[in-house]
A and B are shown apart, each in its own frame.
Chain A
Amino acid sequence: MDGCIGRYLRVNLTEGKHRIEEIDPRLLEKFLGGRGLGVKVFTDEVDPQTDPLSPDNKLILASGPLVGTGAITGASCNVITRSSLTKTLACAKTRGHFGAELKFAGFDMVIIEGKAETPVILSIIDDKVRILPALEYWGRSTAETEDLFKKNLGDPWVARETFLVSIGPAGERLLPLANVVNDRYLSVGGAGTGAVMGSKNLKAIAVKGRHSLHVADGNRFVQVVNTMINKLNSAPLASQSMTQWGTAFLVGLCYQKGILPQNNFRWASLSLKNVGTEALNSAFVLRARGCFACPVACIKKTVVKHPTYQGKGMVPTYLAIGALGVNCGISDLSAIGMASMLCAEMGLDPVAAGGALATAMELVEKKVLSPEELKIDLRFGNAEILIQALRLIATKKGHAKRLGQGGKALAESSGRPDLFMGVKGLSLAPFDPRAIQGMGLHFATSNYGPHHLYANTFFDELLNVHENLDPWEIDGKPGLVKRYQDTSAVMDSLGLCNWPLMGLKFNNYVPLVNSCLGTSYKADDLLLIGERIWNLERVFNLSAGFNSSHDTLPDRFTKEPISDGPAEGQISRISEMIPEYYHLRGWNEKGEPPPETLKALELENE
């Protein structure tokens, strides 16, 4: 297949050896690459019962066939492993420049096995694969690691073109909340992946290369990209809102519909004035940063000049504002920005860490835990303590060890598991499932816990981009969720970002794929591949000990109606949607894909 390099790198850290292997072209046709290929290789090679932190677990970094070719937003790199937080298969995704550089370095995918005895850095620079000692990097933040590694390279021109993914102190300490961080400030959005990397004693991966990528029909490809840029520019959400504020523009919209959760998913009368886009404009100087080949550039970098909170980093995204801010009762954007920067530096996942803190805050408020027990005075709305707590969690100092095990473990050990707002051990992304039913169904059924980027149903439910759906209704939602879950699997496998779907239809991508890869897929063929990947992940999770009883939401969402605000009285009707969802997926009532479904998806031998 054009676009792909057709080779992957297998590194065994126990032996300190590496091997370059060819990819079977039939696998590429069936799974495209990226997430699909990574999941296929991972499920083939790793036993579902493997302890996530044991040397037998593998870590796969896979970029897709469209990455680096100049296809718009072709920048994704998927991190596939068994997560130590959720114990499910995790396909975290990150953008930035790492995925593209990995392909220029000559590999579609890197598979990391085993465990190094001492800390190491994997360096793939100009066709030289080396496993370098990394003792001097151990304990450093992700930004410091990157700076020091580039300084140690000795040649500023090489350093300029080198890109890194690394873990921070949280990953080194094997915290389930730990994340892999890409390009110093982009977290990969997969709690538990950082701990897996840390358990292998792998501090960072650096890539640089000068390989060329081949496009099947260059002239046609250039035309298609031109058309897509024009289409994207005529869509106001993608070209204006996203370009101006990044995903943070969703804060206001979600607030108006009662979707933005506050104080651990209970409604409270917090003023939007403090966290909306106007506040964002006045709190930060926004500077747009683009991932590779992205015409939208939704990343916003800034220098914070607040008397208490100072630093350089990224303007908080919707996720950070929701999870670290509003859901912890905090409405000071400078503080939220600081907290999100800290998460990136320490290698913490903002959603999981924010969720753990919000759980702890409610436990303290309900007097289940006393502040003396935690030794931190965690309270809703106290930003300074939140920042202090994040630092303590990441360095596992003081009494933050319990917090660092995640919200679920904390709530269970305190005897109130009902106060943890999460599914499969991962805290909910900041969307209240009572006020956005389709997202609620996705949260319950997602293979990797409740993360909104695995099915962007809010494009239709909240923003009404392609379809005009009411977020509070359940009609047609199971179909919507299935379609978006499959779409997301395809987009990740191709290596594309999902956000442009806010302005483009999935069908618009078909000519891009075909002209680049030299294939003749139709939209339905691609969605079938997505369904195949989703089912393969499901099969892995079922063997790993998950079943339909895990496809549920915390009791709060099904029993306590929203008490106040625009969505007052709404309740999640998840149990009504699940049977139809299973039916649409072709699964039995226990949520298992029967042999005939697997056969139709050509997965019978898996």
Chain B
Amino acid sequence: MPRIKIDHTKCTGCRHCETACSLNHVANTVNPRRARIRVMKEEDQYFPVIAGPFVDAACTSKQTIVIGNQTYDMCALCRASCPQKPYFIEAETGIPLKCDFCGIPPNPSCVRWCNTGALELVED
């Protein structure tokens, strides 16, 4: 099964993936807020996050994750959109968004526009 491998050490935070995604889903329209991939910045790192399932309730507990000597907010890296995290929701209709592996096969559009190799399509 193909999957998108995310290497956050290569991400430069240019958000070209966001524009690619929104161009591919809404005809002739660019809006990063309507994209199904968002680049999150935590401390000095960028984390591309691809929209996962929508949950209608927020988690009851907050988690932090420690990588190396830095602490990150798990909420930012989470793929879900929830009442507490106003991401991955279509602005005009309020419908939650989820990644659908778009674009010309086999490449999803975000992978094709990611020039640094942070997003990569891999086969298991």
Contact = CB atoms under 8 A, between A and B. Distances in A.
A226 B44 CA distance: 29
Contacts, number: 95
A291 B15 CA distance: 8
B20 to A, nearest CB: 6
B40 interface: yes
B14 A157 contact: no
A157 B83 CA distance: 12
A479 interface: no
Contacts of B101: none
A226 B113 CA distance: 7
Contacts of A590: none
A215 interface: yes
B6 interface: no
Interface in B33-82: 33-34, 40-41, 44, 73, 76
B113 to A, nearest CB: 7
Nearest to A75: B14
Given A222-B109, A291-B14, A70 B19 contact: yes
Contacts of A233: 115
Interface string A300-332: 010100000000100000000000000000000
Contacts of A160: 40-41, 76
A228 to B, nearest CB: 11
A289 B30 contact: no
Given A160-B41, A229-B115, A295-B115, A218 B28 contact: yes
A69 B20 CA distance: 9
B14 A70 contact: no
Contacts of B22: 212
Contact of A70 (B33, B85, B86, B113): B113
B14 A214 contact: no
A69 B40 CA distance: 19
A222 B107 CA distance: 13
B32 interface: yes
A221 interface: yes
A210 B115 CA distance: 25
A252 interface: no
B122 interface: no
Nearest to A222: B23
A104 B31 contact: yes
A293 B16 contact: yes
Nearest to A70: B19
Given A104-B31, A160-B41, A213-B29, A70 B24 contact: no
A303 B32 CA distance: 29
A294 interface: yes
A102 B30 CA distance: 14
Interface string A220-237: 011001100100110000
Nearest to A312: B44
A296 B12 CA distance: 9
Given A160-B41, A289-B12, A293-B16, A213 B30 contact: yes
Contacts of B40: 160
Contacts of B115: 229, 232-233, 295-296
B16 A211 contact: no
Nearest to A68: B30
B112 A226 contact: yes
Interface string A419-436: 000000000000000000
- Categorize the interface residue count of chain B: 20 to 34
Contacts of A214: 28-30
Interface string A397-425: 00000000000000000000000000000
B121 interface: no
A217 B28 contact: yes
Given A69-B19, A293-B16, A295-B16, A210 B113 contact: no
A288 B15 CA distance: 13
Interface string B83-124: 001110001000000000000000001001101100000000
A157 B24 contact: no
A104 B113 CA distance: 20
B27 interface: yes
A561 interface: no
A287 interface: yes
Contacts of B20: 70, 222
Contacts of B85: 157
B83 to A, nearest CB: 12
Contacts of B14: 290-295, 297
Contacts of A295: 14, 16, 113, 115-116
Given A160-B40, A233-B115, A287-B44, A70 B28 contact: no
B32 A104 contact: yes
A34 B115 CA distance: 26
B26 A212 contact: yes
A215 B29 contact: yes
Contacts of B29: 212-215, 218
Nearest to A160: B41
A97 interface: yes
A70 B23 contact: yes
Report which residue of A211, A225, A303 has the largest number of chain B beta carbons within 10 angstroms of its beta carbon.
Answer: A225
A418 B33 CA distance: 55
B116 A288 contact: yes
A221 B23 contact: yes
A294 B32 CA distance: 15
Contacts of A157: 85-87
A390 to B, nearest CB: 24
B3 to A, nearest CB: 22
Contacts of A294: 12, 14, 16
A463 interface: no
Most chain A C-beta atoms within 10 Å of own C-beta, residue among B23, B44, B109, B112: B23
B113 A288 contact: no
Interface in A64-105: 68-70, 72, 97, 104
A299 to B, nearest CB: 8
B19 A210 contact: no
Closest 3 pairs between A and B when the two form their complex, measured CB to CB: A290-B14, A70-B19, A295-B115
Given A215-B29, A291-B14, 18 more contacts: A70-B16, A70-B23, A70-B30, A157-B86, A210-B91, A214-B30, A222-B20, A229-B113, A289-B13, A290-B14, A290-B116, A293-B14, A294-B12, A294-B14, A295-B16, A297-B12, A297-B116, A312-B44
9 contacts: A68-B19, A70-B23, A97-B15, A157-B86, A210-B31, A210-B91, A229-B115, A287-B44, A290-B13
Interface of B: 12-16, 19-20, 22-24, 26-34, 40-41, 44, 73, 76, 85-87, 91, 109, 112-113, 115-116
